[in-house]
Amino acid sequence: MIPPKASDTAVFDDICTIVWRVLDVEPGDIEITPDDSLTDDLGLESIDLVTIGAMLIERYGEQVNLAAHLAEMDIDDVIALRIGELADFVTARLADEQLAER
């Protein structure tokens, strides 16, 4: 687990790596941008989001709880979730954890 001081770029890169692993492709085989939708553009399904959530917890810790975050969203917002929004969520949770430690 990395400390909660990850830069936005590092978080985005980590998320891309996680998505490539879930899609079972080599890094870079599929270009991922912040505007890509997890479901429409990348073809991920709900079970894939569960896997991504588990991998995020493994990487960053329990404070990055994607399942809880998604549970607070409308289904249409979950379906429309973009990589950049996911990276923003992770970065915000890490910043919250860092503030709490002070």
The pTM of this model reads: 0.86
Let me know if residue 2 belongs to a domain: no
Instruction: Give the domain extent around 58.
Output: 8-100
Let me know if residue 3 belongs to a domain: no
Tell me if 1 sits within 8 A of 97, measured CB to CB: no
Domains held by the chain: number? 1
Q: What is the pLDDT of residues 60-81, one digit of tens each?
A: 999 999 999 999 999 999 999 9
% residues pLDDT > 90 (the chain): 81
Let me know if residue 25 belongs to a domain: yes
CATH assignment of the domain containing 25: 1.10.1200.10
From CA 19, how far away is CA 6, in angstroms rounded?
18
